[in-house]
Amino acid sequence: MGALALRPGVPLRKMWTRTKGPKEIFEPPAMGRFGIGENRFSLLKTLAGQLYPIDGVGLDAADPWRWSRMPVDCYNAHMKEAFEPGWNIGPDETMSAFTGTEGTEPDNIPHASFVERKPEPLGCELEDAADAQCGCIFSLEINEGKEEMAKKKYYAEHGPTAACSLRLSAPLHHSRRAWGGDSWFTGVHEVEVGLMYGLYPYGDVKTHTSRYPAKELIELVGPNSGDWSVMTTTVAGGHKIYALAHRRGGTVHTYLFSHGQSLAGKPQAHKDDVAALGQRAVPRPCPKALNDWTAQQPQIDKRNRERQVP
């Protein structure tokens, strides 16, 4: 694994190549020289989520995740000590390619998930949090299924989504950091709860539309790509939050912020502009708050792509 990590961006299927291609500058990885063949490595990789003592001594027999919980707990404990996140952080999902049969035996997965569009869509889903500046993932949580997640901290008071955000950000409560999540993590309720715990949540709004003026906001947006509109309200605790709609290509995207500015920021280009306008993507006007979002939102997906090159 250490040797593979020295070749970032090279697909795993090419790591055992011994001959250099006609357009390649560097020598091939030829990983077989380390004494392990590709087939054996592929077999061992399927067991990577199962770091457990062979005899099971010291494990909680009532915990279906006992065979694989240890590396997650150790990672969180280490990152809490070793890493200090910046001001702009946020959550997303990661898929671990732990694809055994569902069950409670050592080679089983207690709860399998399917998350479309992930590089590896089937396996164990992890919720995680990352830093916008360096992309470092500093907090992990296993998605154990609806029943088990409902027993976890914060769930009873705040519901599944806000509770997940609060657990991932627990070491940073009341640190006044911005917490930028995608549409699963963002709604008026989730922002309101985050503010109660001293964070400034923000993100795009798609499914969590309760108390959100999506229709009215979209109607206010101008006709040109890059136009935006803003609405403001006050929620529990006297905090102001901002609903923002931004036209990107032919589509209006809606967001919710509890921090940042709606003044013009750095222009940004996006593939949606090409699809809608049939031209080369050019930077279009964008509020400063969306510059923060663009910095935070893709960080975990970048790590997913780097880690899960087919």
Could you tell me which of 245, 248, 252, 253 has the C-alpha nearest to residue 282?
248
Q: What is the DSSP letter of 283?
A: -
The tens digit of pLDDT for each residue in 252-301 reads 999 999 999 999 999 988 777 666 666 666 788 999 999 999 999 989 88
In a domain, 55, yes or no: no
The tens digit of pLDDT for each residue in 67-125 reads 788 889 989 999 999 999 999 999 999 888 776 788 877 778 889 888 776 666 778 89
- The pLDDT score that the predictor gives to residue 118 is 65
Confidence of residue 310 (pLDDT cuts 50, 70, 90): very low
Residue range of the domain that includes 37:
2-45
Could you tell me which of 186, 183, 188 has the C-alpha nearest to residue 235?
188
- The pLDDT score that the predictor gives to residue 302 is 83
Dig out the tokens for 238 from the structure.
């006297």
Same-domain check for residues 282 and 174:
yes
In a domain, 210, yes or no: yes
- The pLDDT score that the predictor gives to residue 19 is 87
The tens digit of pLDDT for each residue in 179-199 reads 999 999 999 999 999 999 999
In a domain, 259, yes or no: yes
> Helix (H, G, I), strand (E, B), or coil: what is residue 206?
coil
In a domain, 173, yes or no: yes
In a domain, 106, yes or no: yes
Confidence of residue 309 (pLDDT cuts 50, 70, 90): very low
Q: What is the mean pLDDT of residues 36-65?
A: 74
In a domain, 58, yes or no: no
Same-domain check for residues 18 and 106:
no
pTM over 0.95: no
**8 Å CB contact between 131 and 85:** yes
- Residue 47's contacts (CB-CB under 8 Å, 6 or more residues apart) are 107
Longest dimension (CA), the chain: 66
Q: What is the mean pLDDT of residues 210-238?
A: 94
- The pLDDT score that the predictor gives to residue 273 is 67
Same-domain check for residues 21 and 166:
no
Report the distance separating Cα 245 and Cα 219, nearest Å.
9
**Beta carbons within 10 angstroms of residue 161's beta carbon:** 20
Q: Tell me how far apart the terminal alpha carbons of the chain are, to the nearest angstrom.
A: 15
CATH number for the domain harbouring residue 284 = 3.90.350
In a domain, 60, yes or no: no
Same-domain check for residues 35 and 95:
no
Which runs of consecutive H residues, i.e. helices, occur in the chain?
Answer: 2-5, 38-45, 69-82, 146-149, 155-158, 160-168, 188-196, 214-220, 271-277, 288-296, 299-307
Taking the CA atoms of 121, 122, 125 and 128 in sequence, report the sign of the dihedral they define: negative
- Position with higher pLDDT, 108 vs 228: 228
- The pLDDT score that the predictor gives to residue 301 is 86
The tens digit of pLDDT for each residue in 128-180 reads 999 999 999 999 999 999 999 999 999 999 999 999 999 999 999 999 999 99
In a domain, 51, yes or no: no
3-state helix, strand and coil shares in percent for the chain, rounded to the nearest 5 = 30, 20, 45
Burial class of residue 145, CB neighbours in 10 A (0-12, 13-18, 19+): middle
- The pLDDT score that the predictor gives to residue 60 is 82
- The pLDDT score that the predictor gives to residue 146 is 93
Distances (CA, A) of 290 to 1, 238, 262, 279, 295: 37, 24, 8, 23, 9
**8 Å CB contact between 187 and 274:** no
Same-domain check for residues 113 and 28:
no
Same-domain check for residues 201 and 253:
yes
Same-domain check for residues 113 and 30:
no
Same-domain check for residues 74 and 141:
yes
Same-domain check for residues 22 and 159:
no
**8 Å CB contact between 177 and 89:** yes
Same-domain check for residues 7 and 111:
no
- The pLDDT score that the predictor gives to residue 12 is 82
Report how many domains make up the chain. Answer: 2
CA trace torsion 208, 211, 215, 217 (10° rounding): -100
Return left, alpha or beta for 294; rule: phi > 0 is left, psi -120 to 50 is alpha, else beta.
Answer: alpha
Same-domain check for residues 227 and 169:
yes
- Position with higher pLDDT, 52 vs 27: 27
- The pLDDT score that the predictor gives to residue 2 is 76
Same-domain check for residues 223 and 273:
yes
Which amino acid type is present at position 134?
C
